[in-house]
Amino acid sequence: MSARRPPLSVVIATTKPWPEMRATLDSLLPQARDLGAEVIVADGDGRGLPDPPALPDVVRIEERGASVFRLRALGRARARGEVVAITEDHCRVRADWCAAVVESHRRHPEADVIGGVVENGATGSLVDWAQFLVANGPFLPPVRPGAPHRLPGQANLSYKRRALPPDALGRGVLETFHNQPLAAGGRLLVDDALVVEHVQSVGLRGSCALNYHNGRSIAGFRLAHMRVAERLVRLGGVLVLPLYMLARTLAAVLPKRRHVREVLASLPFLVLFLCCHAAGEAVGYVAGPGASPARLA
């Protein structure tokens, strides 16, 4: 192995068997090879990639049953790149994404973390639209370039090596929580030249489950640093959480004047999914994360 660091490492966690992530790798590998970037797949299923010798230039990590949080932490620990990017096994990156990530970090040496924008690649139903809006609606382009308070999560995020999230507890890190303190120092940046498409369609029942488990997982991560009084306040706040999240999402999405018809038509499903998320948080504050982190895709 060369002692020289590659310019970029891309980490992808998967908990699904092949070919779930075929489209992701089809969009990523040609440009990664051209750039000399490293691609790391952390597999929690054991069948996330085809059998060797297929994809010989993909670095494979396997830990069956691990959550996506743990898998991403394993991938980051293995990464050798000067910049470490993450995306998801149901995303497609644009043709210039790898080079654009490296260039963005070169142009902005002050930025520890740079996020891009997220387009919806699953437009077949209003359920799919609502599921997209829950997590990625605020990051639908256009976005205002510069220093934001929030960045997209694991769909389109990159770190300078000095700012990689730690994994002190061995269970992984919720990247959003790691990024929040960096916002105060102006160390976050959003760059709308970095584009990925989020392609996730799991149906009504699957979307309800994903949002419940996401809410319970978030509560579980918070519990590690939360006193009893704050826990009670958070638990009480769950009653208004769907309304707050709905207002925040619509305030971020509607001014963009894109897909307004789909956004408004999907509102009943969006409210349902936000209620599922709130229910997950409530259970999490009472009983902890349970198995929810391992049930997220």
Segment 99-149, tens digit of pLDDT: 999 999 999 999 999 999 999 999 999 999 999 999 899 999 998 876 677
CATH number for the region 8-124+138-200 comes to 3.90.550.10
Across 11-23, average pLDDT: 96
Check residue 287 and give its pLDDT: 94
Residue ranges of the chain that CATH labels 3.90.550.10 = 8-124+138-200
Q: Does a cis peptide bond (omega within 30 degrees of 0) precede residue 19?
A: yes
With 0-12 / 13-18 / 19 or more C-beta atoms within 10 angstroms meaning exposed / middle / buried, residue 272 is: middle
Check residue 146 and give its pLDDT: 67
Q: What does the angle CA 4 – CA 92 – CA 45 come to, to the nearest 5 degrees?
A: 80
Residue position matching structure tokens 């976050």: 188
Check residue 184 and give its pLDDT: 72
Contact yes or no for 256/142 (Cβ under 8 A):
yes
Across 32-37, average pLDDT: 97
Contact yes or no for 130/208 (Cβ under 8 A):
no
Of 97-106, 182-191, 242-251, which gets the smallest average pLDDT?
A: 182-191
pLDDT band at 297 (very low <50, low <70, confident <90, very high): confident
pTM score, whole prediction: 0.93
Of 119-133, 184-198, 209-223, which gets the smallest average pLDDT?
A: 184-198
Check residue 1 and give its pLDDT: 43
pLDDT band at 87 (very low <50, low <70, confident <90, very high): very high
Check residue 160 and give its pLDDT: 96
